[in-house]
Amino acid sequence: MSGGAALVVLLLATSLVTAAVTFVLPEHREAVRNAVNVGGALLKVLLTSLLVFGVFTGAEFEWRVAFLPGADLVLRADPIPLLFVFLSALLWLTTTVYAIGYRAGDGRSSRFFGFFGLCASMAVGIALAGNLVTFLIFYELLTVATYPLVVHGGGQRARLGGRTYVAYATAGGAALLFGTAWLQHLVGSTEFGDPATVTAVATEQPLAMTAVFLVLITGLAVKAVLVPLHGWLPKAMVAPAPVSALLHAVAVVKAGVYGIVRVVHDLYGMALVDELGALTPLAVVATVTIVYGSLRALTRDDLKGRLAYSTVSQLSYIVLGVSVFGLTSTTGGLVHLVHQGIMKVTLFYGAGILDRQLGVTRASQMDGVGRRLPLTMAAFTVAALGMIGFPPTVGFVSKYYLGMGAVEAGQPWVVAVLAISGALNASYFLPLIARAWFRPAGEPADAEVVAEEGDNRVGMTTATSDDAVPPGPAPTRGRWETDRWLLLPTLSTGASVLALGVLAGAPGSPLTWAAFIAEELMQP
């Protein structure tokens, strides 16, 4: 095995080994478990940096074994995967730290962190997959690995939420499997990064290839929460905050969007998809999702539900960037892959701290929390402003590139969509910020607002009225406003929301990286 292949496999193995060790650790060995998990995450960041450095100096990183006739198992570090792997490695580190502070395990920590590590591995597999078959395998494994995390809290609501999740994910997976098989049958290979072969087949059989594309996208759309296949996400909100953070930022939903990006850019090639006439329908679906998600978020009082619908909306920015033809908008879509992850993870960290420290789970309870948790709320505020697209945060950078790209591509209607969604985002995030900072701290949870009809629906709220495991004691405060393990990740991701926006033009920023990738993709 060459050095390049070894690095790729090692990257996959880091989290896997971490998970294996964690599973066998007895529950009370907290220090060891924490050390192993943080150490594993750190090692992964290190390896990823090596990988990035290697790729930019021109090295090749590929690992390939024969798997099925005509379909190898391939892991390869191409530019787009690098972007995603780097993001997921970094956010995995912060989320691991956060999960330790959150005591997400609740007496079942070995199980929790074990599956946590497994997910990390699967995400790397998804990111580095060199063909659709490999992608599919890891994609399905991710479903299996995340299920225990979604239902971790236990109780009826969690189980029902988990069941919904699995039902959706399996159906989507089935569609993806079918599409992959069909493509393999038509083209004879499903390698990423080889649009020429696919294009050749597509000129012969445009109808079949369009159908394959639609099936693939439909399968991926389940995890990418495109309307109307988004129903599972708000129900999966029963998961503990670190899991939600991860689900929304790098793992499950991101995997779906990432899959769409790869299918459009690396499998079919943008030019072909455009030729098949599938870009515009995709753009329309993305538009509907953006507006619909924002509208739904507006009506949710429970914080995590609001954030969940915001994810529905934000992810489609990426899809929109993918589905508008052109260099600038591709850059915008790719860079939002990173930006959305950082912003959303920060928001969930903040929501988790609010829940853990103050028991605040609803927007209407947020009056004056800025005084009690100033640093947390500062990070939350920055991330929320980013979601609105406020300069100079990263959200603005994404939005700007998406809008510009649309104008360049002769589709100025996209700008109207961005404007509407910006106004909607503002109207569900700004009240939170205004409450937190400019209202006197009031008696939380007034009775009228609690009588929300979502309460009697399954798995929608974070209330713990059923037989779920009761949350542990509020974290110790120490010198800081909350546990340091909770605060540090929140502050670092919050700061990067601002820093990466201010330094968007600097070399090495996600923007320059995305622009570089987009340029490579656009070369005929």
Partner 1 sequence: MSALWWLSPVLLPLLAAGVALVSGRARAWLPAVAPLPALLLAVTGPPGEPPELSWLLIGLELDLDGIGRPLLLMSALVWAAAGAAARRLCATDRGFAALFLVTMAGNLGVLIAGDLITLYASFAVMTYAAYGLVVHERSPFAVRAGRVYMVLAVLGEVALLAGVMLTVGIADSTAFEDIAGALAVTDGGRAIGGLLVVGFGIKAGLVPLHLWLPLAHPAAPVAASAVLSAAMIKAGLLGWLRLLPLQEAWSGWGQTLLVLGLTGALLGIVVGLTQRDPKVLLAYSSISQMGLLITLVGVGLAASDASGPTGLAAAGYAVHHGLAKAALFLGVGVYTSGALAAAHRMYLGATALVGLSLAAAPLTGGWVAKQTLKGTVETLYVGPGLAGLSVALTATGAGTTLLIGRLLRLLREPPELPEGRPKPVRVATGSGEEPTPADGDTPAFLGTPRLLPRLAERPLVGSWSLLTAAALVGGWGLHRFGGDAIATPEIEVASLWDGLWPVSLGLLLLAGVAWRRHHFGLDPPPGRGEIPAGDVLLLVVAAGHRLRVMARRVEPVAARTFETLRDTREVAEHRIRPGPGLDRVEELITRWRSAGILLALVGAALIVALALGR
Site for partner 1 in 431-450 (CB under 8 A): 431, 434-435, 437-438, 440, 449
Q: Which residues contact 419 (CB under 8 A, 6 or more apart)?
A: none
CB of 384 to partner 1, least distance (A): 11
Determine how many CB atoms are found less than 10 A away from the CB of residue 115.
22
Asked if 318 and 405 count as a contact pair (C-beta separation under 8 A), the reply is: no
Q: Within its chain, how far is the Cα of 269 from the centroid?
A: 23
Asked if 257 and 315 count as a contact pair (C-beta separation under 8 A), the reply is: yes
Q: Which of residues 180-209 bind partner 1 (CB under 8 A)?
A: 182, 185, 205, 207-208
Q: Which stretch binds partner 1 (CB under 8 A): 109-117, 131-139, 215-223, 252-260?
A: 215-223
Tokens 């099925």 found at: 68
Q: Which of residues 143-182 bind partner 1 (CB under 8 A)?
A: 164, 167-168, 170-172, 174-175, 178, 182
Helix (H) or strand (E) holding 68: strand 62-68
Tell me how far apart the alpha carbons of residues 79 and 56 are, in angstroms, rounded to a whole number: 9
Out of 3, 70, 107, 228, which residue is the one contacting partner 1 (CB under 8 A)?
228
Q: Which of residues 98-137 bind partner 1 (CB under 8 A)?
A: none
Q: Pick between residue 273 and residue 432 the one whose CB is nearest to partner 1.
A: 432
Tell me how far apart the alpha carbons of residues 41 and 30 are, in angstroms, rounded to a whole number: 16
3-state secondary structure 278-292: CHHHHHHHHHHHHHH
Asked if 134 and 73 count as a contact pair (C-beta separation under 8 A), the reply is: yes
CB of 382 to partner 1, least distance (A): 12
Backbone torsion region of residue 508, taken as left when φ is above 0, otherwise alpha when ψ lies between -120 and 50, otherwise beta = left
Q: Does 522 bind partner 1 (CB under 8 A)?
A: no
List the x/- string, 19-58, binding to partner 1 by CB under 8 A.
----------------------------------------
Q: Pick between residue 46 and residue 506 the one whose CB is nearest to partner 1.
A: 506
CA distances from 132 to 60, 260, 384, 482 (A): 20, 11, 35, 44
CB of 83 to partner 1, least distance (A): 19
For the chain, give percent helix, strand, coil, nearest 5.
75, 5, 20
Q: Does 224 bind partner 1 (CB under 8 A)?
A: no
Q: Pick between residue 149 and residue 397 the one whose CB is nearest to partner 1.
A: 397
Tokens 């972007």 found at: 83
Q: Which of residues 403-422 bind partner 1 (CB under 8 A)?
A: 403-404, 406-408, 412, 415-416, 418-420, 422
Q: Count of residues binding partner 1 (CB under 8 A)?
A: 79
Which stretches does DSSP call E strand in 238-356?
none
Q: Pick between residue 105 and residue 422 the one whose CB is nearest to partner 1.
A: 422
CB of 377 to partner 1, least distance (A): 11
Q: Which of residues 256-295 bind partner 1 (CB under 8 A)?
A: 295
Q: Which stretch binds partner 1 (CB under 8 A): 54-62, 88-96, 244-252, 390-398?
A: 390-398
Determine how many CB atoms are found less than 10 A away from the CB of residue 298.
15
Q: Does 333 bind partner 1 (CB under 8 A)?
A: no
Q: Which residues contact 521 (CB under 8 A, 6 or more apart)?
A: 265, 270, 330
Out of 152, 159, 262, 300, which residue is the one contacting partner 1 (CB under 8 A)?
300
Tell me how far apart the alpha carbons of residues 330 and 51 are, in angstroms, rounded to a whole number: 24
Out of 392, 466, 469, 480, which residue is the one contacting partner 1 (CB under 8 A)?
392
Out of 23, 67, 400, 516, which residue is the one contacting partner 1 (CB under 8 A)?
400
Asked if 304 and 459 count as a contact pair (C-beta separation under 8 A), the reply is: no
Q: Which of residues 72-101 bind partner 1 (CB under 8 A)?
A: none
Q: Does 476 bind partner 1 (CB under 8 A)?
A: no
Q: Which stretch binds partner 1 (CB under 8 A): 33-41, 211-219, 336-344, 489-497?
A: 211-219
Q: Does 10 bind partner 1 (CB under 8 A)?
A: no
Tell me how far apart the alpha carbons of residues 467 and 456 are, in angstroms, rounded to a whole number: 15
Out of 389, 475, 489, 494, which residue is the one contacting partner 1 (CB under 8 A)?
389
Write the burial class of residue 443 (CB in 10 Å: 0-12 exposed, 13-18 middle, 19+ buried): exposed
Q: Which stretch binds partner 1 (CB under 8 A): 29-37, 52-60, 88-96, 498-506?
A: 498-506
Q: Which stretch binds partner 1 (CB under 8 A): 74-82, 83-91, 145-153, 402-410?
A: 402-410
Q: Does 459 bind partner 1 (CB under 8 A)?
A: no
